Amino acid sequence: MSDFIVRKMQIKDRDALIEILHLADPHGKAHPFPAIIYKRWGEFYYEQSRDNCFVAAESESDRAVGIILCAVDTGKYQKIFNREYYRNIQKAVKDMESDHPGTIKKHNMAYYRHREGIQLNLIHFFKMKKIYSDYPAHLHINIHPDFQRRGLGHLLVDSLLGHLKEKGIEGLHLIVDSENQKGIGFYMKYGFTELLKIFPAGKNGIIYGVKTTEKR
């Protein structure tokens, strides 16, 4: 029996999602506000798109130790995020900075103040419009540090690609930091190809996309 199973995200996975997003943050355990990380990077998917998100869970305990978050329509996601989630995130960040001055700079959280997709869509309007048309779904993937390099990323991506293919979603994209060579290599093995170089995502970001209909 395998040590891990992959299943769709469930209501019970919220605490595990918060923990994984926290520990996967570049500042890891040193980051003092996991709830804000969750609000920015996890809450929408947990509340609005659980049916399109998967977890890798320990077989015996069913505890989620890896996650892949997905919205199948990025344009729709951006509208909902900016209308229903952005304001609460800004309030949380403002309160945090008021109580703990310097936190935004210390933990590189300036991006938390941005509306989702606004800058990117303005700078690369026509290119992004085509990407959203050809590769409408997007993903985020995180693995608990104690469970990395055990093949969970492959299990999660395989599950998501199969799920999207069944739903008739033909394209999937994500943004990768250009310095994340391991991550780029991982996605290229799945047939992801470079679609667009952008700024900012880390120092430089690259959008990669893949067709779910491609044979692997």
* Cα–Cα distance, 4 to 61 (Å, whole number): 10
Residue 172 structure tokens: 């999937």
pLDDT of residue 107: 74
Which of 58, 57, 41 has its CA nearest to residue 139?
41
Residue type at 148? Answer: Q
Residue 156: left if φ>0, alpha if ψ -120 to 50, beta else—which one? alpha
State pTM to two decimals: 0.89
pLDDT of residue 168: 96
pLDDT of residue 39: 92
CATH, domain range 4-211: 3.40.630.30
As averages over each run of 10 residues, the pLDDT of the chain (216 residues) reads 90 97 78 86 97 97 98 95 90 83 76 67 81 97 94 96 97 92 92 86 79 79
pLDDT of residue 209: 97
Which residue matches tokens 């995200």?
Answer: 9
H helices of the chain, in order, are 14-24, 34-41, 43-48, 74-80, 86-99, 103-106, 118-123, 125-134, 152-167, 181-189
